Amino acid sequence: MLIEFPNKKEWKKLSGDFEFQILNLKHENIQIQHRNIIEEFSQTLAIQSWCFMLNSRVYFLNDSYKMMSYYFKKGIPDDEWFLSPGRNGESIEYLPHFKDERQHLIRLHFYYFAEIFYYYAFTIFDTIGHIIKEMFRLEIRRNVNFVEAVKRLKPIDSILYDSLKSILESSVYRKAKQIRNNGTHNFAPGYCGPAYSRDELTTFSYGENDYIPSRQIMENALELLHLLDKTNTFIKQ
């Protein structure tokens, strides 16, 4: 069975329903601290370059969210994602409310675009880290990222530091970070099946993966978009 993709009319509606076109960041909206005209020129070029990079990533973030919405609206009945025991005597039955192969393909494609969405969301956060570094000429030589840039702000701009710290400490950001890390390094949240983990050399566990139903993914993704928009607003102030 071939997977479904939005036609021109459906894509236009998805784009019309999408409210986060404002995520793009313009370098001229960012205030910089500089000591002389050469430093100002250098900072402007750096921030301009990182804004171009950020806006490119926002484009892919937007599209992945639209594709998630497209598949989610087709119906993914995974709120109850397993039964134990199963209806036919199995010890466990996965995705018991799925009726046919089409629904399984829709679910798989939803989680495919969800992983892309979370990848780009956190590359955008780290790109904002680069912009912060250039705004304040922070001494971060390796592994520039959003978390490290925010930490370095504390003695320089306490107001911006407190604002961005509230982003890092929010339940939305922490949940999104868990989803992204598991999707990259562990068992992905869309993986429906047994999972093995080992805490120490002599301690391990084997059981069901911490599956996150599609509805919860959509809710967190939308909240994360709001959080990115809020982060951009803080940077521009």
Q: Tally Cβ neighbours within 10 Å of residue 212.
A: 22
Judge whether 205 and 197 are in contact, CB under 8 Å: yes
Q: Is residue 232 part of a domain?
A: yes
Q: Is residue 195 part of a domain?
A: no
Please state the pTM of the whole predicted model. 0.88
Q: Is residue 223 part of a domain?
A: yes
Please write the tens of the pLDDT for every residue from 140-196: 888 899 999 999 999 999 999 999 999 999 999 999 999 998 888 877 888 887 665
Number of structural domains the chain divides into: 1
Find, among 66, 52, 87, the residue nearest to 21 by Cα: 66
User: pLDDT at position 89, please?
Assistant: 84
Full domain range(s) for residue 39: 30-184+215-236
Q: Is residue 121 part of a domain?
A: yes
Q: Is residue 208 part of a domain?
A: no
User: pLDDT at position 183, please?
Assistant: 80
User: pLDDT at position 206, please?
Assistant: 46
Please write the tens of the pLDDT for every residue from 25-47: 665 556 666 566 666 677 888 88
* Contacts of 179 by beta carbon, 8 Å cutoff, 6+ apart: 114, 118, 189, 212, 217, 220
Please write the tens of the pLDDT for every residue from 6-22: 999 999 888 877 766 55
- pLDDT at 220 exceeding the cut of 50: yes
Judge whether 161 and 218 are in contact, CB under 8 Å: no
